[in-house]
C-alpha cells in the first residue's frame, strides 16, 4: 500500500473564511481564483447527525460554491500549492515533471486533495498527498512544512498537525513542534461510521496537546 500523509489545520469555525483566503494566496493562480470565488464559505453538506447512538451533533463538509470537477471525488477538491524551492523539492521535481515548471520562482505541487469539515465550534481543513512520493515530500521538505506553518499563523488557526499514519501519534507543527497523542477516531464517528464529529474529536486533540481553545 502507498503512503497517505496529510496536513490538518484546526481552527475556530468563525475563522474559516480567513483560513480559506490564506490558502488561496499560496495555491496556483487558477485554484486561488476558484477558491476566492466560493467565499464566504458555506458547506455543501450541512446536517445534524447522531453520535454515540443518540447525541445530535453538527456535521458540515465541503465548500458549496466550489463546483466539483469530473476527477474530484466527493467533497474533496484538487489544489496545486506553490512552495519556495529547497533541495527536497528539487529532488521531487526529478520524478515529477510538473514540479519542474516553476511559477514566479516557486515549485508547484499537486494534485493535493483538500477538504474541510466542521461542527458548531471547530473546523478542520485537510490536505492529503496524492502519492507516496508526495507524502515523503510533505514529511521531509522544510519549505513545505514552513509554508503550512505560515498558513496556520496567518489564518490565526489553533493547530497544524501532520498525519504520518501512525495510529497513536500526530506530529504537531504549530503552535509548537513535537509529537502528541492521536486519539482513536472510532468513538468520535457518527452513526454512519464514516464521518468524524469534528467538535468532539478536535476538542480532545487540543486538550491532550495542552492547547488552549
pLDDT score, position 192: 75
Over 70: is that where the pLDDT of 111 sits? yes
Q: Could you check whether the bond before residue 102 is cis, i.e. omega within 30 degrees of 0?
A: no
Element (H, E) at 172: strand 169-174
pLDDT digits (tens, 9 = 90+) for 68-88: 898 888 899 999 999 999 999
CA angle 122, 63, 144 (to 5 degrees): 70
Q: 104: closest CA among 4, 32, 189, 184? A: 32
Binned at pLDDT 50, 70 and 90, residue 52 comes out as confident
Residue 208: its pLDDT value, please? 93
Cell of 144: 513545505
Tens digit of each residue's pLDDT (9 = 90 or more) over 130-181 = 999 999 999 999 999 999 999 999 999 999 999 999 999 999 999 999 999 9
Who contacts 1 (Cβ-Cβ below 8 Å, separation ≥6)? none
Torsion sign across C-alpha atoms 104, 109, 111, 117: negative
Output phi, psi for 6, to 5 deg: -155, 155
- Dihedral sign, Cα of residue 76, residue 77, residue 78, residue 83: negative
| Cα–Cα distance, 132 to 5 (Å, whole number) | 8
Position 14 pLDDT exceeds 90: yes
| b/e sequence 157-184, b meaning 16+ C-beta within 10 Å | bbbbbbbeeeeeebbbbbeeeeebebbe
User: What pLDDT was estimated at residue 50?
Assistant: 85
Is the per-residue pLDDT at 92 higher than 90? Answer: yes
Q: How far, in Å, CA of 107 to CA of 84, rounded?
A: 6
Contact 193, 114 (CB under 8 A): no
> Considering the chain, what is the average pLDDT of its residues?
94
Report pLDDT for 156: 98
Is the four-CA dihedral 167, 78, 99, 102 of positive or negative sign? negative
Share of the chain above pLDDT 70, in %: 99
pLDDT for position 53:
64
Amino acid at each position: 500500500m502507498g503512503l497517505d500523509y496529510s496536513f490538518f489545520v484546526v481552527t475556530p469555525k468563525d475563522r474559516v473564511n480567513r483560513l480559506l483566503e490564506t490558502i488561496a494566496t499560496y495555491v496556483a493562480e487558477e485554484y486561488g481564483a476558484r477558491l476566492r470565488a466560493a467565499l464566504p464559505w458555506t458547506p455543501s453538506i450541512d446536517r445534524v447527525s447522531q453520535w454515540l447512538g443518540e447525541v445530535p451533533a453538527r456535521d458540515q463538509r465541503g465548500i458549496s460554491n466550489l463546483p466539483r470537477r469530473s476527477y474530484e471525488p466527493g467533497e474533496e477538491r484538487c489544489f496545486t500549492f506553490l512552495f519556495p524551492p529547497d533541495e527536497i523539492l528539487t529532488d521531487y521535481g526529478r520524478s515529477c515533471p510538473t514540479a519542474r515548471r516553476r511559477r514566479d520562482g516557486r515549485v508547484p505541487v499537486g494534485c493535493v486533495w483538500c477538504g474541510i469539515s466542521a461542527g458548531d465550534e471547530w473546523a478542520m481543513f485537510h490536505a492529503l498527498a496524492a502519492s507516496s512520493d508526495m507524502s515523503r515530500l510533505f514529511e521531509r521538505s522544510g519549505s513545505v512544512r514552513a509554508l503550512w506553518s505560515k498558513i496556520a499563523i496567518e489564518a490565526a488557526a489553533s493547530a497544524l498537525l501532520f498525519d504520518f499514519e501512525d495510529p497513536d501519534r500526530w506530529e504537531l507543527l504549530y503552535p509548537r513542534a513535537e509529537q502528541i497523542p492521536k486519539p482513536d477516531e472510532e468513538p468520535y464517528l457518527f452513526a454512519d461510521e464514516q464521518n468524524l464529529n469534528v467538535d468532539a474529536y478536535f476538542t480532545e486533540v487540543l486538550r491532550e496537546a495542552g492547547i488552549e481553545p
